[in-house]
A and B are shown apart, each in its own frame.
Chain A
Amino acid sequence: MAADTSIWQRIGFHRSFGVAEAGWGRTLAVAGVSFVYFLPVLFIIFTAIKPQALALSVPPTLSPTSLFGLIPDQFVFTPTLENFSSVFSRVMTGGGQPEPTGFDRFFFNSIVIASASVLLALVLGTLAAYGFSRYPLKGNDTYLFIILTTRMLPAIVVIIPVILMFRAVGLSGSYLGIILLYTAFNLAFTIWMMKSFFDELSTDVEDAARIDGSSGTRVFFRICLPQVVAGLAATFVFGLILTWNEFLFALLVTGPDTRTVPVAMNQAVSSGGRGTDWTLLAAIETLFLIPVFLVTFFLQEHLLRGVTFGTVRK
């Protein structure tokens, strides 16, 4: 430590010039921004643990604790877990017994459909992206652009022929149908994203390996794929998030057995003609957020590790 370091620098508040790591000063600043950004989500989570009667109170109740007297009593509510249990079973008709809502099935459906289709898209899309990047076809850019156009039309236009097609083949209401549809839905993004990662890699190492007699398969699995793990993680996260929350295809193509949570959520909160059931909606959304939140959190390390691991770049 140099003699002129101040107390601020010692506890981490030092200016960095893009080389050193930023310290706790940066953490504080970013924490402020992140907290404000997160507030609307926090409000939804708090609504999920609010008593139903307080959902639309004026002034709005904001916090389950008074934070040692920091928050005035009128903004504080007593937390409850009732809303979470009413996601899975609740009284449907006046004065009746609680009935199961089938939401356990819908959560299972969402997990199966989203993970299967994103993984399938990742496998097919990565192979295709590698092909487009390393073995360019005649009219390579045209193919890529046609693939991109599949994302440009509003879903409503594609969905009518898809419904007719699925009825003819017997795929409507089945897992396979919606999984294939979502795979195609994810492919365009997967291919473009993975191609941009493959394009960034230097081909020197690959060429050297080929000259030494490595087969094409070996070059792909041993040299290229390990360098784009960050890209795979990022693509997986994006695909998962988009598929997880997709609404229109799921509404029109899934049957009662294969219904996903966004569709069921929409039906659950607006049924009965009593207007939005705020606490129920918040409870479903909070539960629905957990899986995708955890996946993103655990893949984050890969997301941020960077595209290359010290290998030569172009």
Chain B
Amino acid sequence: MSVMPPVPVPSLRTSPTLLEISADNWRLASLVGVVVSALAVAALPADVAFWIVGVMVALVAAAFVVNAYRRRYYGGLLVSPAIAVLFAMNIFPLLWSLGLSFFAYQSNRQSIWFVGLNNYIKVLTNDIAAADNWHALINTGMFVVLTVSAQMTVGFMLAMLFAKQFPLRKYLLILVLTPMMLSVVASGVFFTYYYDPTFGVLSYVINSIAGGQFILMDSKAGAVAGIVFADAWMWSPFVMLLVLAGLVSVPKYLYEAAAIDRVSAWRRFWTITFPYIRGLLMLALLFRTIEAFKLADLVILLTKGGNDTMTISYHLIRIANEQNKTSEGAAISYIMLFMVIVLTNLYLYLANRRTRES
């Protein structure tokens, strides 16, 4: 890990006292901010109060920034703009929907009342609703395992193919990267065409070889295979690019040394190559798993959830968007979030343990 550099540190300023007027007095700024905001919300019309609260938030933020700069909290200073955007656009809405999951609320009705954990109990144990939820969840688990392992395998193999320098490499690489650049709408719709029993290319090929009518989407296995194939085709290049970035960063002299020592290919891979791509493999695995849990668009386009291919994400869209059961949807998604968090923590724990061992 990075060691803090032994820079001669000039004596730090002392913190200003509570009532001192100073640009870095964040305590005073927060106090003024809270008091003025509370007064504005209580006394002024909502649209005016809204902007006053906004100005106060900016004031407090400015005081914190000046304070961090003068006291050399560079870490905080560097991460704060990103955190601010994430907070406004993601974390705040997340907390909002977490709150909603404890209320009975439907987006097409005005009424809203507190029900505590009832939404969670309902989606987990209700006779009618829970069975669908569990089923969709099991399907999602199956899709996560299948798509992620397919993507990691294909992506890794593609990366190994491209790892060495050879003529025309950049032109061939861009061909392999293109599937990732397609819009899911277009590629999903075109996969319905490829799989189509009457017009499709796949059926045409199989029909003319084997004879008879071939319908891929007829059975659950076929439908799952179709979805997994399309998803793996689109996203293997993502894994490939990450792994490749690691592979090309391995210093050549290590391989030269290994060649002189006549190290076997297997050992060369595990002792030289693997340490360089481990971090990026982990990152690819992490992000593909998270995305696989959210698999919905391809299912909507290819099977509309038929043939027992309903995933929890698609189920959620139906509940929250089509049936307007906002708070029930929020409850399901937090159960899902909990599972993803457990899984990713497990990944990160295993990865960190491997790093410590080596």
Binding site for B on A (CB under 8 A): 12, 16-19, 21-24, 26-27, 29-31, 33-35, 37-38, 40-41, 43-44, 47, 56-60, 124-125, 127-128, 130-137, 143, 145-162, 165, 168-169, 180-181, 183-185, 187-189, 191-193, 196, 199-200, 203, 206-207, 210-211, 216, 230-231, 234, 237-238, 241, 244-245, 247, 261-262, 265-266, 269, 276, 278, 281-282, 284-285, 288-289, 292-293, 296-297, 300-301, 303-308, 310, 313
Separation of A100 and B252 alpha carbons in the complex (Å): 56
B185 touching A266 by the CB < 8 A rule?
Answer: yes
Residues of B with C-beta under 8 A to A24: 166-167
Q: How far is the CB of A35 from chain B (nearest CB, A)?
A: 7
Binding site for A on B (CB under 8 A): 2-3, 5-7, 50, 74-79, 81-83, 85-86, 88-94, 96-97, 100, 107, 158, 161-162, 164-170, 172-187, 189-191, 193-194, 198-201, 204, 233, 238, 241-242, 244-245, 248-249, 251-252, 255-256, 258-259, 265, 268, 279-280, 283, 286-287, 290, 293-294, 296-297, 313, 316-317, 320-321, 326, 329-330, 333, 336-337, 340-341, 344-345, 348
A203 touching B184 by the CB < 8 A rule?
Answer: no
B91 touching A293 by the CB < 8 A rule?
Answer: no
> Given A137-B75, A154-B313, A154-B336 in contact, is the A26-B189 Cβ separation under 8 Å?
no
> Given A18-B259, A26-B166, A34-B175 in contact, is the A234-B249 Cβ separation under 8 Å?
no
Q: How far is the CB of B92 from chain A (nearest CB, A)?
A: 7
B190 touching A19 by the CB < 8 A rule?
Answer: no
A289 touching B182 by the CB < 8 A rule?
Answer: yes
A-B contact pairs, 15 of them (CB 8 A): A19-B256, A34-B176, A41-B178, A44-B186, A58-B204, A131-B77, A134-B75, A150-B91, A154-B313, A157-B316, A184-B89, A238-B238, A265-B186, A304-B173, A313-B251
B249 touching A308 by the CB < 8 A rule?
Answer: yes
* Residue in chain B with minimal CB distance to A263: B185
A247 touching B185 by the CB < 8 A rule?
Answer: yes
B91 touching A27 by the CB < 8 A rule?
Answer: no
A188 touching B283 by the CB < 8 A rule?
Answer: no
Separation of A276 and B204 alpha carbons in the complex (Å): 20
A265 touching B183 by the CB < 8 A rule?
Answer: yes
A22 touching B178 by the CB < 8 A rule?
Answer: no
A152 touching B293 by the CB < 8 A rule?
Answer: yes
Q: Which one, A35, A47, A148, A161, contacts B97 given CB within 8 A? A: A161
Residues of A with C-beta under 8 A to B175: 34-35, 37-38
Residues of B with C-beta under 8 A to A35: 175
Other A-B pairs, 4, CB within 8 Å; known A134-B75, A297-B174 = A38-B178, A58-B199, A154-B336, A310-B251
Separation of A262 and B187 alpha carbons in the complex (Å): 12
Residues of B with C-beta under 8 A to A30: 161-162, 166, 169, 172
> Given A151-B290, A297-B174 in contact, is the A131-B79 Cβ separation under 8 Å?
yes
Residues of B with C-beta under 8 A to A237: 241
Separation of A156 and B314 alpha carbons in the complex (Å): 10
Residues of A with C-beta under 8 A to B279: 196, 199-200
Q: Which residue of B166, B191, B244 has the most chain A CB atoms within 10 A of its CB atom?
A: B166
Q: Which one, A153, A168, A244, A307, contacts B181 given CB within 8 A? A: A244
Residues of A with C-beta under 8 A to B265: 18
| 7 tightest Cβ-Cβ pairs between the two chains A and B | A131-B78, A135-B75, A184-B89, A128-B82, A161-B93, A161-B96, A285-B186
Separation of A127 and B85 alpha carbons in the complex (Å): 13
Q: How far is the CB of A208 from chain B (nearest CB, A)?
A: 9
Residues of A with C-beta under 8 A to B184: 245, 247
Q: How far is the CB of B66 from chain A (nearest CB, A)?
A: 17
> Given A41-B182, A157-B320, A304-B244 in contact, is the A124-B189 Cβ separation under 8 Å?
no
Q: Which one, B179, B333, B344, contacts A154 given CB within 8 A? A: B333
Residues of A with C-beta under 8 A to B181: 241, 244-245, 289, 292-293, 296
Q: Which one, B77, B173, B259, contacts A300 given CB within 8 A? A: B173
Separation of A305 and B238 alpha carbons in the complex (Å): 17
> Given A157-B333, A200-B279, A211-B5 in contact, is the A17-B94 Cβ separation under 8 Å?
no
Separation of A81 and B287 alpha carbons in the complex (Å): 39
* Residue in chain B with minimal CB distance to A234: B245
> Given A44-B190, A152-B340, A293-B178 in contact, is the A26-B82 Cβ separation under 8 Å?
no
